[in-house]
A and B are shown apart, each in its own frame.
Chain A
Amino acid sequence: MRKHKYIEEKFFRVLMFFSTTLIVMVLLLIIFSILYKGLPSLSWEMISQTPKGGFYFGKEGGVLNAIIGSLYLSIGATLLAFVIGLPVALFMNVYLVKFKKTVNTIRFFLDLLWGIPSIVYGAFGFTIMIYLGLKTSLLAGIITVTLFIIPIMVRAMDEVLKTVPFGLLETSLSLGSTRSETAYKVFLKQASPGLVTAVLLSFGRAIGDAASVLFTTGYTDHIPTSLTQPTATLPLSIFFQLSSPIEEVQNRAFASAVILTVIILIISILARLYSRKYQKHKINF
């Protein structure tokens, strides 16, 4: 009996150790290969210039158009999704607490939407564009990406708001607050560190997705100056460079991947620093 337990314990410890190591190794390998291939091609020119003629054949230029385009697109979509998603998540957790079944149904459908591949969102966005007579543009891309990340953002926020204890809801109501005061003055503050994570998660999906913007934002070598212009994005830029037969261009794709990774890194760090300001008021129940 003793021996049996000992072996069992040992087995699962080894299993956990190996799966953790495996994941970390794969992650390191990806980062390493991006850096290994990308860093030599990364130059100030890459970051500060738009593609010149013949860029995709190895001539000079950079991916500034895609950097700016990606930032416009994903920041716009994240803001829009936040404005729509936050009330939904709060509504589910403050107003609908009495209706468990309804909330669980909503959760089920959001999970379904989360699972739909982004190319389907792209196709859906494209259909809407045709219906409205829009051309490929930044605006169409923002709308499509917003639709695509809303389920992610709402569910992630919902998971955070679910952890706010019921007693805090009761307390707030018993002080005479309305439901909306409870939602925006109490729940928001208690959950803010987690909500930042939810926003970051969605931002990461928005900036890294290629399929949903393929039909909707189009591609251009210029930096967009209005919402109705087509826009380049980093994932698509990487895609186009990788499909080139010229090795130099392929390496630039990896340099673009480095840029994309660094952008996500910078935004994560900024958001974490900002959320720490509110963290101190969070009550640990």
Chain B
Amino acid sequence: MEKGVKILVRDLNLHFGKNHVLKNVNVTIPEKKITVILGPSGCGKTTLMKTMNRLTDIYPDVKVSGNIFINDEDILNTQQDITILRQKMGLLSQRPYPLPMNIYNNVAYGLRISGRRKKRYLDKRIEHYLTMANLWDEVKDRLKESASRLSIGQQQRLCLARGLAVDPEIILADEPTSALDPISSQAIEEKFVELKKNYTIVLVTHILRQAKRIADHVVFMYLGEVIEQGPADQIFNHPRKRSQNRILKDCSISILHFAFCILQ
């Protein structure tokens, strides 16, 4: 695998029953950058992300073929323990799903199941990760309270802290701001820019402006296909000729692209 590449998707096809959801997807995701997967609703971007985490394993009637290389390991055809693989990737979903336990245990959960149970170690780690997610000051006096008592923005930050606590290399975020108010959204976005120093971030969104604000690398999807991908600057300001020709073939896509150009 090339240097600086974290995730490499090769000829990925995914069928949901009779629906061909992902069609020959080839994607390169660079290390320690924010890669934004952009596209309208229902184009397969969330599915692509869940395939990277092998969460597609739990859906009925799913057939996957192709390769996804993470650190040179083909995760779709591996003998490796799937739980260890998933721990390398923190997942942030559309709306926060805190675990049904108190705030402290929410963050400690991931550490405990991977065998780290010492109280003093946990205390230190939990403070560290909650601080990292900008939540420590708000919850330090009520760590024993149920996570369900937090606001939705706080819950999303708790989920971020919980995801970071298992010490992942990659953060997968599926429209993490769609259920949040503008201020909480901004907090999450700023956090991502800060986190890319140490983590590879894959962000799924349909908000063009969000992509333009924080993306380093863009994958543009439409109807299950990758239409364009490359550094953000290139995609937003100098769309390549080849893909433009292709876009012109499909009227609906060209309209979409037109809309994108106007928004720029």
Residues of A within 8 A of B (CB): 97-100, 165, 167-178, 181, 185-186, 189-190, 280-285
Contacts and interface: CB of A to CB of B under 8 A. Distances in A.
Size class of B's contact patch? 35 or more
Contacts of A177: 83, 109, 113
Interface in B140-187: 146-148, 159, 162-163, 166, 172
Contacts of B147: 281, 283
A171 B147 CA distance: 15
Does more than half of chain A's interface fall in helix, strand or loop, or is it mixed?
helix
Does more than half of chain B's interface fall in helix, strand or loop, or is it mixed?
mixed
B146 A280 contact: yes
Contacts of A186: 99-100
Interface stretch (B24-32, B53-61, B199-207, B208-216): B53-61
Nearest to B101: A281
Contacts of B60: 97-100
B66 to A, nearest CB: 20
A176 B99 contact: no
A175 B147 CA distance: 17
B44 interface: no
Given A281-B146, A283-B148, A172 B59 contact: no
A170 B100 contact: no
Interface of B: 50, 53, 55, 57-60, 83-84, 86-87, 89-91, 93-95, 97-102, 109-110, 113-114, 146-148, 159, 162-163, 166, 172
21 contacts: A97-B60, A98-B59, A100-B60, A167-B93, A171-B99, A171-B159, A173-B86, A174-B86, A174-B89, A175-B86, A176-B87, A177-B83, A185-B113, A186-B99, A186-B100, A189-B100, A281-B100, A281-B101, A281-B146, A282-B148, A283-B148
B21 to A, nearest CB: 16
B83 A172 contact: no
Contacts of B163: 174-175
A115 B117 CA distance: 47
B197 to A, nearest CB: 23
B225 to A, nearest CB: 25
B98 A283 contact: yes
A190 B146 CA distance: 12
Contacts of A98: 57-60
A172 B163 CA distance: 10
A173 B57 CA distance: 11
Given A165-B97, A168-B99, A190-B100, 10 more contacts: A167-B95, A170-B55, A173-B83, A173-B86, A174-B91, A175-B86, A175-B109, A185-B113, A186-B99, A283-B100
Contacts of A181: 113
When A and B form their complex, which 4 residue pairs have the shortest distance between CB atoms, in order from nearest?
A: A176-B87, A174-B91, A190-B100, A189-B100
A189 B101 contact: yes
A176 B114 contact: yes
Contact of B93 (A170, A176, A280): A170
B83 A176 contact: yes
Nearest to A167: B97
A176 B163 CA distance: 10
B87 A169 contact: no
A97 B95 CA distance: 21
Nearest to A186: B99
Contacts of B83: 173, 176-178
A227 B162 CA distance: 49
A185 B100 CA distance: 9
Given A175-B113, A176-B114, A170 B98 contact: no
B89 A284 contact: no
A171 B97 contact: yes
Contacts of B87: 175-176
A173 B100 contact: no
Contacts of A185: 109, 113
A170 B172 CA distance: 13
A160 to B, nearest CB: 13
A176 B86 contact: yes
A170 B93 CA distance: 9
A240 B155 CA distance: 59
Nearest to B114: A176
A174 B55 contact: yes
Contacts of A178: 83, 113
A161 B94 CA distance: 22
Contacts of B86: 173-176
